[in-house]
Structure 1
Amino acid sequence: MTASTPVSTTEPTEKAAPAARVRDLTKVYGKGEAQVRALDGVSVDLASGEFTAIMGPSGSGKSTLMHCAAGLDAATSGEVFVGDVDITALRDKELTTLRRDRIGFVFQSFNLIPTLDAQENILLPLAIAGRKPDPAWFDTVIDTVGLRDRLDHRPSELSGGQQQRVACARALVSKPEIVFADEPTGNLDSTSGTEVLNFLRRSVDEFGQTIVMVTHDPVAAAHTDRVVFLADGKVVDEMREPTAAKILERMKRLDTRLSGHGTPVAGD
């Protein structure tokens, strides 16, 4: 597989256009001898209504890819589409509006406002956009994450798993076209992490949500439909119907390959 060839699914799909796609994406940090090529001509489609994991050894470029695909970081060259919109061609204000209205985010550190209660945190993006929530959808999201009796609690009164479920609800309540999750279980114990992953899985299976998750954890990635593997800033493989054991074996092969060919590039 060449770096410029889009990764495609191994099975035909009835779904139309991908939720997001990148074409020949390059991200370079620094100049001269200090230059680091975090992404090196990445092309990949992120299918609608699927749960996709992005994995790779440390320094493979997985977080950089997600940040560029989500419009959180600007690519050095190449194109990024959310739906049919080339976000690399948008002005700052247009990009901010697109991220607010069409993309959801879940971060490892939760990113909740400590002075707001759970309900206020969940509705914050809609409030900023001047939009009112769909009451039926809000109730569905709240019941799915199991936070009905915690809506008036502030983050300091919630466990880590509950805080991350608030963050997941916040990402979904605006009905985004795609949700990007960056190590969403990284700060959680195994029980809380499983709760969050099960919720993300349900949001895909029951609500048709599209989720792209960066993770280093084979157990987390096993909850997804598809795993895309990066190494040295390039897409090198993919896996459908992943299991933790199969993912771990594939990662070991990547680590072995890298150990025999120098140090991976910076930019996780």
Structure 2
Amino acid sequence: MVEIAGVAQLVRADNQIVAARTQQLSKVYGTGDAQVIALDTVSVELFAHEFTAIMGPSGSGKSTLMHCAAGLDAVSDGRVFIGETELTSLKEKELTALRRDKIGFIFQAFNLIPTLTAKENILLPLSIAGRKPDPAWFDQVVETVGLSERLGHRPSELSGGQMQRVACARALVSRPEIIFADEPTGNLDSRASREVLDFLRRSVAEFGQTIVMVTHDPVAASYTDRVLFLADGRVVDEMREPTAERVLERMAGLDSAKGV
């Protein structure tokens, strides 16, 4: 066990630090004949300072896994940890504080406040937490994401790619333990997608950030270090050093198994 930024972290025998993990995680929606098993006893480790993609056919449970791992959705059974803090044992107030202070989020829909400027949107989580930004870190993040000339603009004055880069900067500026990104390029064209993925890749390589991304896009997955493949609510495979071609081939096999 080691402690990073005041948070106890699990270290495996191969010296990989576990940023988040699930143990026998299950998520069930509905009851009786309407019951749907979204996650079926999933145990997985997500490693620090890595970019991990979660992929699978529609209905495989990939978004549900991310939402449960991030503390956004309650679990039906099993345990979820960020570092060595068990989310499933926290009260709602404690969980809210942990999400605010230790976790960053990037969503497909950007989730920016339309009346705030780009700068105000980036700093919003810190403002809510009553924390002051580190000016040098803020400048570095803004410069890296390429928004130095757009900080005074509101979301309606920004392109889709620029809005998502604001969302990325907002997730990063508070120095979270881990960032969860749910289809962050889903609403972007190919050029804007590359810009956002390049930034996420750089934030891992240069800042040591930990990112977990749900995506359906093999090209997006090729930017990551590791891909986890889900099918029918279970992790069925993983891939290191993915390429778009290898990911596409593996996804095709999963779709074929579902009869798609």
For 1:40, the equivalent position in structure 2 comes to 40
**Whole-Å separation in 2 of the counterparts to 1:15 and 1:67:** 27
**What is the aligned partner in structure 2 of residue 212 from structure 1?**
212
Is 1:25 aligned to 2:25, yes or no?
yes
Equivalence for 2:92: 92
**Aligned partners of 1:84 and 1:227: how far apart in 2?**
23
2:103 is aligned with 1:103: yes
AA in 1 matched with 2:29: Y
Q: Distance in 2 between matches of 1:87 and 1:58?
A: 27
Contact 1:107/1:182 (CA < 8 Å) preserved in 2? yes
Q: Which whole-Å CA distance do the structure 1 matches of 2:40 and 2:155 have between them?
A: 39
Which structure shows the bigger proportion of residues in strand conformation? 2
**Cα deviation code 1:165-214 (max 9, x no counterpart):** 00000000000000000000000000000000000000000000000000
2:233 and 2:69 map into 1 onto residues whose CA distance is 14
Equivalent position of 1:50 in the other structure: 50
> TM-score if structure 2 supplies the norm length?
0.94
Question: What secondary structure sits across from 2:110 in the alignment?
Answer: coil
What residue number does 1:140 align with?
140
Instruction: Give 5+ residue unaligned stretches, structure 1.
Output: 1-11, 261-268
Per the alignment, residue 182 of structure 1 pairs with 182
Tell me which residue corresponds to 1:166: 166
Counterpart residue number, 2:243: 243
- 1:225 counterpart = 2:225: yes
- The structure whose RCO (Cα within 8 Å, separation 6+) is larger is 1
Q: 1:234 to 1:48 in 2, by over 3 A?
A: same
Match of 2:4 in 1: none
Q: Provide TM-score, normalisation by structure 1.
A: 0.91
The alpha-carbon deviation at position 17 of structure 1 amounts to: 3.0
Aligned-pair identity in percent equals: 73
C-alpha distance in 2 between matches for 1:51 and 1:78: 24
Measured at CA, do residues 109 and 32 of structure 1 come closer, stay the same or move farther in structure 2, by a change above 3 Å? same
CA distance in 2, matches of 1:122, 1:98: 19
Alignment gaps of 5+ in structure 2: 1-11
| Residue identity opposite 1:222 in structure 2 | S
RMSD (CA atoms): 1.1
Question: In the alignment, is residue 155 of structure 1 matched against residue 145 of structure 2?
Answer: no
1:241 CA displacement: 0.3
Amino acid at match of 1:240: R
Amino acid at match of 2:40: D
Q: Deviations over 1:21-50 (max 9, x none)?
A: 001000000000000000000010000000
Matched residue count: 249
